[in-house]
Each structure stands twice: as structure tokens, then as C-alpha cells.
Amino acid sequence: MAASMPCCCSSSGEYFIVPLLHWTSLAASHARPLPALSQLQFFKEVKSLDDSRLLSIGASIRQSSNDLRARVISGASSGSGQYFVELSIGTPPQRFTLIVDTGSDLVWLRCSACTSGSCEDVGDGGAASQLLSTFHVRASSSYRAISCTSQSCFVVPPAPNFSCKDSSECRYEYTYSDSSSSTGILSIETISLNVSSASSSASTVNSPRELPDFAFGCGFHNVGQSFIGSNGVLGMGRGPISFVSQVGAAVGRKFSYCLVDFFRKPSLNSVLVAGDPPLTMRVPLQSTPLLTNPFRRSLYYVNVQEVRVNGVALFIPSDLWKLDEMGNGGTVVDTGTTFSVFVEPAYQRILSAMSTSSPLPKVEPVEGFDLCFNSTGLKSLTDLPNLSIVFQKNVVFAPPATNIFVDMPGSLKCLAMRGANRVFGFSVLGNLIQQNFLMQFDLQNSMLSFTSVDCSDAFR
């Protein structure tokens, strides 16, 4: 009989708060090297990362939902990881920095069968393996491989030519959109999170917390450019083996994040919350259903019904927002993309309305932007056009101007949105538009709840 899915357990009523590190705040040893960049160069880098992310999501959607070997989307696969967490795994613990990815399920990291940190990685043997830390399984007393007869083994794509008759271990292979791949063993370990945890009736306690029996992918053979600059991925998707499904099993299968404005407060960390923190009981939340794309079940979709500029609804045909039966279209809520993206011609309607809804003079757009205003005479942020998005159940998401416009040299305010070309074919609410909102994802009830808060202070 197949073994049941491993489950991390915590005390009833608890929640966990984990710092979220933006890629701009990480040292070169933890993420991609970040040379000194001008504002224009920085946003070119952001656009390039967004393009990689969008292409990868689009490629993954076009794969058959019935093909376990379909290529997957991950921040690691496109080099577009935006937020990271620090995770300790094993006994004694070994510490790693993982990409937080709401577009994939599996938590995995690079592994080695060596017993010493000086051992050469059991991987592709190339330069990429020398840049990154690896988890040394033989140095951990709590490590064990998952059997190929386990229920868990059926939710990961099998390795090529793998037969359960030939091995007692569950071997998988993830192939990414850029043809990189990670092959390894689905395993169980004890993880430790550097968290603040509390019950609803107790004061917050700052201490590491061990969570046993956590299922993760131990990648022993990693090939390609995808993994340069990453120890691995923290999958936050909707599948049964994701971080939130495992850790969240004891806290209601809910997770939240609260993203600080990394342009204005780069020294402060955002937060990732597993469970239901007391803050959600103190502030009013708006809720809208999450939709499921049968061809990409890990992604979080919402149903956009209307877009307003300065309170006026734009004429945008409803079918432009529809997630169809083939998995095309729809609107994804994503942390791995910075700028929001809207399908054509919806974006052109938004752009046209925004360009005529401000007393500020328009100027020639900066490279990479479609609309810029001269803000020299800006008296208040209300001089900038405001945008609101109406979700299903008539729920209104109204981000402030700081989430919609970015500062550029020469006292310019430029629209931080883009149109989706035919290759993308879907809309994305990126992390910039979500800043200073508590975004709570309830997997049990398939709902997204949100409220406007000061994320630099709400959990401190």
C-alpha cells in the first residue's frame, strides 16, 4: 500500500512569519551579481527578467496538463527570482537561500552525497556547480529518501527510464523551459525556519522552529544555466507537495505575503506568513475567488471584471479577461514578475485613459516605458491618474500611485505597466502593484483576500 503524503505539523492556531528578501538586497553570493546600475539600467534589467518569466509561464501553460513530464515554470528556470527566503534543512541544519516561486510546487535544492562541505558537487561538474552551496545528505542524521511506492512519488515527474522495480527511491526529473533540468530523489527531512511564531492568544516568540517530515526534491544532477545564482526553489503553488500545502496543513492551508516598497525602503524585508496571523482579524479584508487553470494548476488566477481610471470604467470586452477552456488568457497574481502586464487591446485602452487623465504634461517616454509625465509641478499624488481593478464579487483592488508609477531621472513619473504580446496571451498582476497590500491565499477555500497596509510596519 502506498505511503501517505508527508506532513509538517505545528501546534494548532500557530502561524509562521518568514523574512522575504528582495533580489536587490541580496549579496552576490546569494543571488545574481548586482553591479552599480543607473535607474534606466535597473529597469532594463527588470524588464529582461520579466520577459524571461512571462515566456516561461506561457511555455508551461502550452504543455498538456496530463503530461507529468511537461516542462515546468520556476523563478530558477528563467533567472527571474524576485524574492528569496533563508531555509535550514537537515540535522544538524545546513542553511540555504531559495527562490520563492508562486508558479511551481516542488521545494528542491542542490544535493551532494558527500559528507564534507569541501566535497565536489555530484552534478554537471561545470562552473555552475562551483558557484553554489549544496545540501550534503550524508552529513544529516534526519535525511531519508521517499519510496517509489509512496503517494508523494506520483505528484512529481519521473526520471527518464525510471522503474520502481529497479529502485526503492522515488526519482524525478524537472525539465525547465530553457532546457535546463534537475534530476534527483524525492526525500524527507527536517526543515528549520528563522521565524517568529505565536498562537493567537500568546505573545510572539522569535526563535527557529523545526518542522519534521518535510518532502523536498534533492537534486543530484543539475544541468544548464537555470541554476546559476540559486540554491534551489521554494515552491508556493497549489499542489499537494508545495511548501504552503505541507507547512500549511496544520495552519489552515493559508499563506500571505506583504511586500514593502523596495524602491523607497530597500533596507527593510518583506514578509511571508504561513497560517492566519492576528492582523487578518484586526483589519477588514476583501475576498475574491481564485480560479484554476487546468493546464497550469500551480498558478493563482483571479477573475477581472472591470478596470477603472480615475473612477471611470473602461470599455474593455469581457472576453479579454477570460480564462478559457484551453488554459489561455486570464489574470495571474505573481510575485516573480515586477511590472504588471495586460493583454492587448485592454492595455491600449488603459494606456489611452491614463495619458489623458492627469493635469501633468506628458513627455517623450523613456526607453522601456510607454507613458511618462513631467512631475516638476506635482502638488500631490492625486495629480497622477489612479487605476482600480474590479474582481469577481465586485471586489475593488485600488493600488496607490506609487504602485503604478516609478520615478525616473529628470523628475519623470513613468507608468510601470506593459502590454502583453501574442506570445504571452495572459495578464499578470506583478509584485510592484501588490506592494503594501497584505495578500492572503486560502488554498482550502480557493480565495484571495487582501487589504491595504503598511508592510514596513504591519508585522514588526
Q: Which residues are catalytic?
A: 101, 334
Cα 189 to Cα 145: distance, rounded to the nearest angstrom: 9
> Under a CB-based contact definition with an 8 Å cutoff, are residues 159 and 173 in contact?
yes
Cα 53 to Cα 79: distance, rounded to the nearest angstrom: 8
Range 27-56 burial, b when 16+ CB lie within 10 A, else e = eeebbeeeeeeeeeeebebbbebbbbbbbb
Burial label, 296 (beta-carbon count in 10 A; 0-12, 13-18, 19+): buried
Nearest C-alpha neighbor of 413 from the set 351, 353, 362, 379: 362
The cell 464579487 sits on which residue? 393
Close Cβ partners of 64 (under 8 Å, ≥ 6 residues apart): 70, 295
Task: Please give the grid coordinates belonging to residue 260.
Answer: 514593502
> Under a CB-based contact definition with an 8 Å cutoff, are residues 437 and 271 in contact?
no
Cα 374 to Cα 395: distance, rounded to the nearest angstrom: 32
Strand 340-343 versus strand 417-420 pairing type = parallel
Q: Residue 381 half-sphere exposure, CB side, CA atoms within 13 Å?
A: 11
The span from the first CA to the last CA of the chain, in angstroms, equals 47
Burial label, 388 (beta-carbon count in 10 A; 0-12, 13-18, 19+): middle
In degrees and rounded to multiples of 5, residue 388 shows phi and psi of -135, 150
The cell 510572539 sits on which residue? 204
> Under a CB-based contact definition with an 8 Å cutoff, are residues 402 and 434 in contact?
no
Cα 182 to Cα 176: distance, rounded to the nearest angstrom: 8
